[in-house]
Structure 1
Amino acid sequence: MTANSVRAGVAIDPAKAKEIATQHACFACHGLDSKLVGPAWRDVAVRYSGRPEVAKQLVAQVQNGSSGVWGAVPMPPNRIGTDDARTVVQWILAGAKEK
């Protein structure tokens, strides 16, 4: 993906999304291609492919936490602003590519 990549009318800047994810410790539990504590982001993209309405739901799960979605391990809430969470979620749904 490039900074000009678009999903659902939203420009995605992969470098910015990765920076936000790093600042909020998302990579402590998620890998791009491999499951860590939580699912790999490429698996998230595959599961929700073709469902643009899911972005709002995923932003809420990032901010508020969730349980039972990907197994028994709950995802804790993350103190991340809505715009930043949306940026990361859009990047994930676009395949979480670095470039």
Structure 2
Amino acid sequence: MKRILIATALALSASAPAWADQALAQSKNCMACHSVDKKVVGPAFKDVAKKFGGQAGAADMLAQKIMKGSSGVWGPVPMPANTQVSEAEAKTLANWVLSLK
């Protein structure tokens, strides 16, 4: 019984950051244009992770795109700048997105 409780606690603690970062994405209105696994206005976060995952500097590059906006990478619809997102939050979001492979 004790092993089951420990295993459950470890599993919950390991998944907590993923939920916390999705909550951050929701609180910063990222989910208005993106979804974890399907294209909405912008690409699915999993598609972003596939495209940029493993590239050196990908998290920093994505954090800049989150804060300053972007255009032409995923088609004609530009991503506006997210001025309400701090640099620390943008890095957290970028790392979360890249973890979604």
Aligned to 2:50: 46
Where do 4+ consecutive residues of structure 1 move more than 3 Å? Answer: 1-5
Return the index of the structure with the highest Cα Rg: 2
Aligned counterpart in structure 2 of residue 95 of structure 1, from 89, 93, 100: 100
RMSD of aligned alpha carbons: 2.1
Q: Identify the structure with bigger relative contact order (alpha carbons < 8 Å, sequence gap 6+).
A: 1
Confirm or deny: 8 A CA contact 1:59 1:85 kept in the other structure: yes
TM-score when scaled to structure 2? 0.80
Count of matched residue pairs? 90
Q: Higher strand proportion, which one?
A: 1
Aligned to 2:23: 19
TM-score when scaled to structure 1? 0.82
Change over 3 Å in CA distance of 1:83–1:3 after alignment to 2: farther
User: 1:11-32: per-residue Cα shift (whole Å, max 9, x none)?
Assistant: x811221111111100000011
TM-superposed CA distance for 1:45, in Å, is 0.5
Aligned to 2:39: 35
Q: Higher helix proportion, which one?
A: 2
